[in-house]
Amino acid sequence: MYLRLTSYFVTLFFVLSTLSGCIAVTPVAKSNVEVLQDASDATGIDAPTSEGAEVAFDIVHTQVSRDGAFLNFKQIVAGEVGSIIPTETGQLAGAEVESYVWPTSLDSSAIGFDAEQGILALAVTSHPDFDDTPLVDEDEDGNKENDGRLWHSHWVVLVEDESCGEGGLKVRDIPEGETPSVPDTWPELPLLIDSPSYDLELANSQLTVHVPYQPFRGGKFFNYDGVTAGLKVNADLHVPLLCVTGIYDIASGDLSLPGEVQAEP
């Protein structure tokens, strides 16, 4: 399973590395931010800066570590993390998504989906044109349906789909009429996506997501990598609904999932 999932990412890397200008983005309060000095001292995956890369998505360190009752998923970038979000278009069709992602070797059943459904990844996303966290009012304005612009967490299951481009990936669709197993915080979208609303912090160049141990089922250890990527909702709102359209950076350089963490205390 691990080797098969890794091969998916390797295929995608070579295909999407030829793409450029896939996602229109809007700078938000951008500033010059120094990379945290302890990045090279921590365990995890260190990465060199990439010439010409947008610094908000240029990964210099990725780490998943234990801290008490939590696993902390961390990415450090060369600029200000989260300072770029997609351009708002006012409609769901064709809406763009920016993301910081940790692809893992965890089975999809680890957080409540059916087993062996694809690549399970934690993602932190922003998408001003739609809200997919119906259980949470992130900006506390009394409306739970207008918070997509704010960075928030998801679990997603990724699979290959040639409709997203040769060797491309998508968030796995749920075919009409099927009722697969889903986590309690599934946002009732026709996708294998979960909206757990984990606590997260964006501070200068560092993004940290605090994930409780409790959701994980099976597997004492898992492997991980770090990716920054753009996705896009199908302009026709049909399958495939949400495709990966561009890879900005990969912590390992080759999506080999070299990071390892103990998933249980």
pLDDT tens digits for range 159-193: 999 999 988 999 999 999 999 999 999 999 999 99
CA distance 3 to 6: 5
Owning domain of residue 99: 2-262
What are the pLDDT digits (tens) for 52-77? 889 999 999 999 998 888 999 999 99
Residue 188 CB contacts under 8 Å (≥ 6 apart), including other chains: 134
| DSSP structure class, residue 133 | -
| DSSP structure class, residue 24 | -
CA distance 226 to 239: 27
| Angle (nearest 5°) at CA 201 between 108 and 26 | 90
Q: In terms of pLDDT, which residue wins out, 69 or 207?
A: 207
Determine the pLDDT at residue 131: 66
Residue with tokens 């570590």: 65
Determine the pLDDT at residue 106: 93
> Minimal CA–CA distance to 127: which of 159, 163, 89, 165?
89
Predicted model pTM:
0.83
Determine the pLDDT at residue 182: 97
What are the pLDDT digits (tens) for 86-101? 999 989 899 999 999 9
Task: Compute the average pLDDT of residues 205-228.
Answer: 86
CB 84 within 8 A of CB 99: no
Answer whether residue 147 shows pLDDT above 60.
no
Mean pLDDT of the chain: 81
CA distance 186 to 251: 28
Determine the pLDDT at residue 22: 39
Per-position DSSP letters for 189-251, written without gaps between them: -SBSEE----EEEEETTEEEEEEESTT--S-SEEEE--EEEEEEE-TTS-SS-EEEEEEEEES
Six token digits for residue 132: 């997919």
What are the pLDDT digits (tens) for 16-31? 443 333 333 333 332 3
Structural domains counted in the chain? 1
Q: Greatest CA span in the chain, whole angstroms?
A: 51
